[in-house]
């Protein structure tokens, strides 16, 4: 299409202009810059007027013109545009200003404008954003900061634009930092691979350089070897591609296992409270999911209070929410146990119906109080983003959830093993009458056990608020999975829950790439059904005298 | 001969049906003589769909209040009858029956999911009621008793794909959707359309996920991989409501920016974004026929009144709300034109009725019971609103039967006399024929 060609053309022109500008900047003397400053300041009035039109095509053109102008104000204007701080006066004659914390300043004189006119920000879309990125990347090819120069080299490598080659060579000749030099050489090789009219030897050297990177982007670049290239070059590229693909396939398995562990930790968090209420106490607790939901809503309320009153504490909001969610949902759990469940011990069907009813009541209550729409729970800065481990990407949020799930698991295990209340809980569930005869208040222990299970579900809600919707339906999506994990792992055994959650998570993620998300889930259910046929008591069956029916 | 005969029988059947309906309407005259005209609201207020449908219930109540402030319709006040089908599809049919036969409502505004619409269809046909359906859907339907004020695929999906091809130079496509009828049909249409534009099969990746899917790690990683093949890639998302939040969160976490792989969504509006931190999503797109950020006086006025009505100055508006408003105003105008709320009279009078939409133009009811709409493409901003980057110059007429699908390309719908048919096959000249 015409527009496509035009777009590519204008992008290329922009990049060339920027690179030329960089080379010029680095090459020219400060004196000559100062001499021509007045004239340049005049030069950018035209692009400024274009920016004030607030039209995407004009903004893109203005970005190119700005870079060409060599004006010292250009970098600041581009940065302001990226931050949404570039504004124009909405009344004629339209003028461009930069918004700062203290007020508007004129981009030419850097003086504050008084009185400030009514302004609107210059709008930015994906096309303009890409132009800004190119501008910023190219501007920083001569930046004093080596990290920025590396980023710039990567940006150029990504664009694979032949026209950038001379500027790249200029930058390379001057570069002294070895790391930046490597990045520049790689960028140069990326461009050479697809360039017409270079010798096969040069092209093979470039192929080898790029192939050493071994990642997805290297693959994309290697596939760009032109059909007209010499056969030995094509062979080298094909070999390199095959090698990278083999290597990446191995990493993909590691990546899938990581995803599986991550999904497993979510399942573990969702199920671990149920492992207490259903696994240990034998209550078919359909309201378990709603306890998770209440925990998530507690997080929301905590974040709201923090946002309103103590914005500086936002990064701590989840830590603060954990004990509050535990106490709140634990309290609700004790209330439910005392008012409903204690009358229904040993009557599985009635318990199921009663707790199902409770779950509907809780859902509708939350819907009435907070509304039916999703509530926003923000991610603290330490849970955002990702890092690369080899050729595997690991997101911080998921990493913390895995750590958190394991901490909760160990804490719960410790409570049951080491503390007095844990001992009493185990005693009551193993043999209620004997425990009562030993002077344990079994009613109180029942309430505490149910409260503990609910509280743990609440804590899970804090973590799940980071990856799922905080809506009244949050709990429903986890109840089936939770029961699946507890039954699969073995009722009444916490280790079973851990192993069950992890194996279901990993199995699900290993199936997904082949069978798709829908079929994968079905296949997993079938496997679990078959497994339960073979081992009705799950992976880790309790041996000896079991819980009373 | 056989054809003729069957057609004659159908016409006869319809005549008998019409007569019965008239008789019914006649019997209903005492109801009309009462002080009010009843308006049914059939939206889920509890269960999964409450998240989306509650707002539409509020919208109808708001419109009823506004209309009554203007003096009602035909000199009578409107009275809303609200029922809660609780996101339960069979219950939709029951509640629809209750509205039509017990409450004797003149019109019903309702339904969100296609399955709920399909579930009430037989009831509206049997009792000859009127349903205004305000949500974008997969098309492939046109019924005498239903008015579709949301977008058909050619009024949302295809213009969005065109925009990406022309402005973002996209050559590789991921069609990601939730596994049910709307995404499947829409993706089938899109796939055929993309292929007709010369996109190769290996440049299209189709992916379906279950309802409420929350673990997007694998799929987002796949999209990332698919997008690193050297050609510009975009995701066309028909992912349904609730699954979107974890999807966008994962995109943000894995660092996929809109400048790398833009996502254009057909089910994500202002309401859905209210539950997400939109800063990592800036630049991803949505295609609708209305955005809250439309900068025209009609819209500003509407938002002001709506926020005053809900007593919440942060309450957002969205596309299905606008479709509800248009449907409501069309019904009012058609009733006033016909001078009665009788369904048959309204069905005749509403075709050609044109009312202002909220994006500064007029939308008209076409003979296929769909309306004309402008198509707007918006980019997500960091405040959860949309920046409109493209608007079709004119209005687009709905293609209820997609010309890109084998089974429906020969079908048209025209509810005017003499055709009076929702699926007329232009090749065989028969009504009720599916495609070849």
- Per-domain residue ranges of chain A: 2-139, 143-229, 251-374+401-534
Q: Return the higher-pLDDT residue of B35 and B270.
A: B270
Minimum-distance CB partner of B387 among A125, A367, A393: A125
Average pLDDT, stretch B125-131? 96
Say how far apart CA B387 and CA B282 lie, in whole Å: 10
Closest Cα in chain A, distance from residue B203 (Å): 14
What is the predicted pLDDT for the residue at A453? 94
Q: Return the higher-pLDDT residue of A63 and B284.
A: B284
Say how far apart CA B425 and CA A208 lie, in whole Å: 61
Whole-angstrom CA distances from A185 to A150, A209, B36, B413 are 11, 9, 80, 63
Neighbour tally for A106: CB within 10 Å = 14
Contact (CB, 8 A) for B296 and B376: no
- Give Cβ neighbours of residue B266 (< 8 Å, ≥ 6 apart): B136, B156, B157, B160, B186, B236, B237, B238, B286, B287, B288
Percent of chain A residues topping a pLDDT of 90: 32
Residue B429: is its pLDDT beyond 80? Answer: yes
Q: Is B258–A518 a contact, with Cβ atoms under 8 angstroms apart? A: no
Considering the domain boundaries, does residue B42 fall inside one? yes
Any A CB within 8 A of B329 CB:
no
Considering the domain boundaries, does residue B104 fall inside one? yes
Considering only residues 473 to 532 of chain A, which have any Cβ-Cβ distance to chain B shorter than 8 Å?
Answer: 473, 476-477, 509, 512-513, 516-518, 521
Name the phi and psi angles at B110, rounded to 5: 180, -175
Considering the domain boundaries, does residue B61 fall inside one? yes
Considering the domain boundaries, does residue B389 fall inside one? no
Considering the domain boundaries, does residue B416 fall inside one? no
When mean pLDDT is compared across A7-11, A288-292, B147-151, B284-288, the lowest value belongs to: A7-11
When mean pLDDT is compared across A345-354, A366-375, B2-11, B309-318, the lowest value belongs to: B2-11
Residue B43: is its pLDDT beyond 90? Answer: yes
Any A CB within 8 A of B260 CB:
no
Chain A residues lying within 8 Å of B253, measured CB to CB = 384-386, 395-398
* B163 and B75 share one domain: no
Question: Per-residue confidence at A460, pLDDT binned at 50, 70, 90?
Answer: very high
Q: Is B218–A375 a contact, with Cβ atoms under 8 angstroms apart? A: no
* B175 and B208 share one domain: yes
Mean pLDDT taken over chain A: 83
* B166 and B261 share one domain: yes
Average pLDDT, stretch B106-126? 94
Neighbour tally for B197: CB within 10 Å = 11
Any B CB within 8 A of A102 CB:
no
Any B CB within 8 A of A56 CB:
yes
Residue A23: is its pLDDT beyond 50? Answer: no
Question: Per-residue confidence at B271, pLDDT binned at 50, 70, 90?
Answer: confident
When mean pLDDT is compared across A153-162, A194-203, A407-416, A449-458, the lowest value belongs to: A153-162
Residue-by-residue DSSP string for B288-349: ES--TT--SHHHHHHHHHHHHHHT-TT----HHHHHHHHHHHHHHHHHHHHTS--HHHHHHH
Contact (CB, 8 A) for A406 and A413: no
By residue count, chain B amounts to: 436
Domain covering A251-374+401-534: architecture: Orthogonal Bundle (1.10)
Hey, of B179, B253, B256, B281, which one would you mutate to test binding to chain A, going by the most A CBs within 10 A of its CB? B253
What is the predicted pLDDT for the residue at B309? 95
Q: Compute the count of residue pairs across chains A and B with CB atoms less than 8 Å apart.
A: 148
Helix %, strand %, coil % of chain B (to 5): 40, 20, 40
Query: pLDDT tens across A221-250, in order?
Result: 887 777 777 888 888 888 988 998 898 889
Question: Per-residue confidence at B32, pLDDT binned at 50, 70, 90?
Answer: very low
- Give Cβ neighbours of residue B180 (< 8 Å, ≥ 6 apart): B114, B115, B211, B240
Considering only residues 145 to 204 of chain A, which have any Cβ-Cβ distance to chain B shorter than 8 Å?
Answer: none
Which parts of A70-177 are beta strand (E)? 86-89, 96-99, 104-105, 119-121
Name the residue among B376, B188, B346, B208 with its Cα closest to residue B285.
B376
Considering the domain boundaries, does residue B314 fall inside one? yes
CB neighbour class for A275 (10 Å; exposed up to 12, middle 13-18, buried from 19): buried
Q: Looking at residue B254, which CATH number applies to its domain?
A: 3.40.50.2300
Name the residue among A476, A492, A481, A414 with its Cα closest to residue A270.
A481
Q: Is A374–B274 a contact, with Cβ atoms under 8 angstroms apart? A: yes
* B261 and B184 share one domain: yes
Contact (CB, 8 A) for A105 and A111: yes
What is the predicted pLDDT for the residue at B95? 96
Minimum-distance CB partner of B246 among A468, A473, A513: A468
Q: Is B254–A393 a contact, with Cβ atoms under 8 angstroms apart? A: yes
| Domain end marker among B328, B354, B373 | B373
When mean pLDDT is compared across A21-25, A366-370, B285-289, the lowest value belongs to: A21-25
What is the predicted pLDDT for the residue at A498? 94
Chain B residues lying within 8 Å of A366, measured CB to CB = none
What is the predicted pLDDT for the residue at A34? 41
What is the predicted pLDDT for the residue at B392? 87
Residue A10: is its pLDDT beyond 60? Answer: no
Average pLDDT, stretch A155-182? 77
Considering the domain boundaries, does residue B58 fall inside one? yes
Minimum-distance CB partner of B215 among A123, A130, A263: A263
Query: pLDDT tens across A281-315, in order?
Result: 888 999 999 999 999 999 999 999 999 999 888 99
Query: pLDDT tens across A178-188, in order?
Result: 888 888 888 88
What is the predicted pLDDT for the residue at A80? 86
* B316 and B361 share one domain: yes
Residue where the block lists tokens 């709320």: B341
* B210 and B106 share one domain: no
- Give Cβ neighbours of residue B47 (< 8 Å, ≥ 6 apart): A473, B86, B87, B88
Lay out the sheet containing B263-265: strands in order across.
B204-209, B172-178, B233-238, B263-265, B285-288, B376-380, B386-391
Residue where the block lists tokens 């990683």: B221
Considering only alpha carbons, which residue of chain B is nearest residue A367? B46
Any B CB within 8 A of A419 CB:
no
Question: Per-residue confidence at A176, pLDDT binned at 50, 70, 90?
Answer: confident
Query: pLDDT tens across A59-102, in order?
Result: 888 887 776 666 777 778 888 888 888 888 877 778 888 888 88
Side-chain-side CA neighbours of residue A353 (13 Å): 4
Q: Which helix (H) or strand (E) holds B270?
A: helix B270-273
Chain B residues lying within 8 Å of A518, measured CB to CB = 179, 208-210
Neighbour tally for B277: CB within 10 Å = 18
What is the predicted pLDDT for the residue at A137? 64
What's the total number of domains in chain B?
3
Minimum-distance CB partner of B210 among A3, A221, A517: A517
Chain B residues lying within 8 Å of A84, measured CB to CB = 382
Any B CB within 8 A of A21 CB:
no
What is the predicted pLDDT for the residue at B136? 93
Query: pLDDT tens across A187-205, in order?
Result: 888 888 877 777 888 888 8
What is the predicted pLDDT for the residue at B33? 47
Name the residue among B144, B156, B95, B139 with its Cα closest to residue B120.
B95
* B236 and B340 share one domain: no
Neighbour tally for B253: CB within 10 Å = 25
Mean pLDDT taken over chain B: 87
Q: Is B259–A129 a contact, with Cβ atoms under 8 angstroms apart? A: yes
Q: Return the higher-pLDDT residue of A249 and A329.
A: A329
When mean pLDDT is compared across A300-309, B238-247, B278-287, B383-392, the lowest value belongs to: B238-247
Minimum-distance CB partner of B218 among A126, A259, A468: A259
Say how far apart CA B239 and CA B208 lie, in whole Å: 9
Question: Per-residue confidence at A33, pLDDT binned at 50, 70, 90?
Answer: very low
* Full-model pTM: 0.80
Chain A residues lying within 8 Å of B315, measured CB to CB = none
Residue A154: is its pLDDT beyond 90? Answer: no
* B144 and B80 share one domain: yes
Chain B residues lying within 8 Å of A468, measured CB to CB = 214, 245-246
Contact (CB, 8 A) for B83 and B99: yes
What is the predicted pLDDT for the residue at A543? 58
3-state secondary structure of B393: coil
Most trustworthy range by pLDDT among A166-170, A180-184, B69-73: B69-73
What is the predicted pLDDT for the residue at A180? 86
| Cα dihedral A196/A197/A200/A204 (nearest 10) | -40
What is the predicted pLDDT for the residue at B11? 43
Considering the domain boundaries, does residue B387 fall inside one? no
Residue B195: is its pLDDT beyond 50? Answer: yes
Neighbour tally for B273: CB within 10 Å = 26
Q: Is A70 left (phi over 0), alpha (psi -120 to 50) or beta?
A: left
Q: Return the higher-pLDDT residue of A535 and A24.
A: A535
Say how far apart CA B213 and CA A235 lie, in whole Å: 43
Question: Per-residue confidence at A140, pLDDT binned at 50, 70, 90?
Answer: low
Say how far apart CA B292 and CA B311 lie, in whole Å: 17
What is the predicted pLDDT for the residue at B314? 86
Verify cis geometry, omega within 30 degrees of 0, for the bond prior to A170. no
Q: Could you tell me the residue range of the domain that residue B147 belongs to?
A: 34-151+300-373
What is the predicted pLDDT for the residue at A304? 93
What is the predicted pLDDT for the residue at A68? 64
Residue B433: is its pLDDT beyond 70? Answer: no
Residue B330: is its pLDDT beyond 70? Answer: yes
* B54 and B89 share one domain: yes
Q: What is the DSSP letter of A145?
A: -
Minimum-distance CB partner of B169 among A7, A378, A509: A7
Query: pLDDT tens across A466-502, in order?
Result: 888 888 888 988 998 999 999 999 887 889 999 999 9
When mean pLDDT is compared across A34-43, A58-67, B38-47, B371-380, the lowest value belongs to: A34-43
Query: pLDDT tens across B343-401, in order?
Result: 999 999 999 999 999 998 999 999 999 999 999 999 998 888 999 988 888 899 999 99
Any A CB within 8 A of B44 CB:
no
Positive or negative CA dihedral for B149, B150, B152, B156? positive
């Amino acid at each position: 299409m015409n527009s496509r060609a035009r777009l590519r053309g204008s992008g290329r022109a922009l990049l060339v202009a920027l690179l030329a500008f960089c080379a010029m900047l680095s090459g020219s003397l400060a004196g000559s810059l100062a001499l021509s400053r007045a004239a340049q300041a005049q030069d950018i009035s035209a692009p400024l007027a274009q920016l004030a039109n607030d039209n995407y095509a004009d903004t893109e053109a203005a970005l190119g013109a700005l870079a060409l102008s060599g004006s010292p104000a250009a970098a600041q204007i581009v940065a302001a545009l990226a931050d949404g701080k570039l504004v124009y006066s909405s009344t004629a004659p339209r003028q461009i200003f930069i918004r700062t914390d203290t007020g508007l300043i004129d981009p030419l004189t850097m003086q504050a404008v008084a009185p400030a006119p009514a302004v609107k920000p210059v709008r930015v879309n994906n096309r303009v954003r890409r132009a800004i990125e190119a501008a910023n990347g190219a501007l920083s090819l001569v930046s004093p900061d080596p990290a920025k120069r590396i980023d710039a080299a990567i940006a150029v490598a990504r664009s694979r634009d032949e026209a950038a080659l001379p500027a790249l060579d200029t930058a390379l000749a001057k570069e002294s930092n070895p790391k930046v030099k490597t990045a520049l050489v790689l960028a140069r090789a990326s461009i050479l691979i697809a360039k017409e009219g270079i010798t096969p030897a040069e092209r093979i050297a470039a192929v080898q350089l790029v192939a050493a990177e071994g990642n997805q982007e290297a693959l994309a670049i290697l596939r760009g070897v032109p059909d007209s290239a010499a056969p030995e070059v094509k062979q080298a590229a094909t070999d390199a591609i095959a090698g990278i693909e083999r290597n990446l396939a191995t990493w993909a398995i590691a990546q899938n296992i990581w995803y599986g562990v991550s999904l497993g930790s979510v399942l573990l968090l969702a199920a671990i409270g149920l492992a207490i209420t259903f696994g240990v106490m034998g209550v078919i607790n359909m309201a378990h999911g709603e306890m998770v939901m209440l925990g998530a809503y507690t997080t929301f309320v905590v974040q709201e209070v923090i946002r309103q009153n103590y914005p500086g504490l936002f990064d701590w909001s989840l830590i603060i929410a954990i004990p509050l969610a535990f106490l709140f949902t634990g309290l609700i759990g004790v209330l439910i146990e005392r008012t409903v469940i204690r009358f229904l011990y040993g009557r599985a069907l009635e318990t199921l119906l009663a707790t199902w009813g409770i779950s509907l009541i809780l859902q509708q209550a939350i819907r009435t109080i907070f509304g039916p729409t999703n509530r926003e729970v923000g991610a603290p800065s330490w849970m955002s983003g990702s890092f690369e481990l080899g050729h595997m990407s690991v997101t911080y949020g998921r990493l913390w959830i895995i750590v958190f799930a394991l901490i909760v698991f160990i804490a719960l295990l410790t409570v049951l093993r080491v503390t007095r209340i844990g001992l009493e809980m185990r005693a009551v569930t193993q043999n209620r009458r004997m425990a009562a005869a030993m002077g344990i208040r079994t009613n109180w222990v029942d309430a505490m056990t149910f409260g503990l299970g609910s509280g743990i579900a609440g804590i899970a809600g804090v973590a799940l608020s980071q990856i799922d919707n905080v809506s009244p339906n949050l709990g429903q999506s986890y109840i089936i999975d939770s029961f699946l994990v507890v039954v699969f792992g073995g009722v009444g055994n916490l280790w079973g829950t851990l192993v069950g959650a992890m194996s279901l998570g990993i199995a699900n993620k290993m199936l997904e790439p082949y069978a798709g998300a829908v079929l994968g889930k079905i296949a997993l259910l079938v496997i679990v059904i078959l497994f339960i046929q073979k081992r009705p008591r799950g992976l880790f069956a309790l041996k000896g005298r079991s819980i009373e029916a | 001969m056989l054809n003729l005969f069957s057609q004659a029988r159908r016409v006869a059947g319809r005549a008998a049906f019409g007569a019965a309906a008239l008789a019914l309407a006649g019997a209903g005259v005492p109801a009309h003589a009462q002080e009010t005209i009843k308006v049914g609201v059939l939206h889920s207020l509890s269960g999964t769909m409450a998240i989306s449908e509650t707002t539409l219930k509020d919208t109808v109540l708001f419109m009823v209040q506004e209309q009554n402030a203007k003096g009602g319709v035909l000199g009578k006040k409107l009275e809303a009858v609200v029922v809660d089908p609780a996101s339960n599809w069979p219950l939709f049919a029951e509640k629809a029956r209750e509205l039509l036969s017990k409450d004797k409502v003149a019109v019903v505004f309702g339904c969100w999911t296609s399955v709920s619409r399909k579930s009430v269809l037989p009831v509206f046909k049997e009792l000859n009621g009127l349903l205004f359906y305000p949500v974008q859907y997969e098309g492939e339907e046109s019924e005498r008793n239903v008015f579709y004020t949301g977008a058909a695929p050619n009024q949302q999906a295809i213009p969005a794909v065109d925009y990406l091809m022309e402005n973002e130079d996209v050559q590789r496509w991921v069609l990601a959707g939730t596994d049910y009828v709307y995404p499947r049909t829409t993706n089938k249409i899109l796939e055929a359309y993309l292929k007709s534009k010369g996109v190769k099969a290996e440049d299209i990746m189709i992916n379906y996920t279950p309802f409420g899917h929350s673990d997007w790690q694998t799929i987002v990683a796949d999209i990332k991989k698919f997008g690193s093949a050297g050609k510009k890639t975009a995701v066309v998302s028909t992912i349904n409501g609730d699954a979107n939040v974890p999807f966008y969160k994962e995109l943000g976490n894995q660092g996929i920016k809109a400048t790398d792989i833009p996502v254009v969504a057909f089910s994500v509006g202002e309401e859905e974004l209210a539950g997400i931190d939109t800063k990592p999503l800036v630049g991803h797109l949505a295609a609708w026929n209305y955005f809250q950020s439309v900068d025209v006086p009609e819209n500003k006025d509407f938002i002001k009144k709506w926020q005053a009505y809900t007593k919440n100055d942060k309450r957002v508006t969205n596309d299905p709300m606008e479709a509800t408003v248009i449907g409501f105003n069309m019904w009012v105008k058609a009733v006033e034109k016909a001078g009665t709320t009788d369904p048959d009279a309204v069905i005749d009078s509403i075709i050609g009725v044109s009312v202002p939409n909220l994006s500064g133009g007029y939308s008209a009811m076409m003979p296929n019971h769909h309306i004309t709409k402008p198509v707007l493409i918006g980019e997500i901003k960091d405040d959860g609103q949309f920046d409109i980057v493209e608007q079709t110059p004119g209005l687009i007429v709905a293609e209820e039967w997609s010309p890109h699908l084998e089974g429906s390309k020969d079908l048209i719908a025209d509810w005017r006399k003499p055709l009076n048919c929702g699926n007329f096959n232009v090749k065989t000249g028969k009504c009720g024929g599916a495609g070849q």
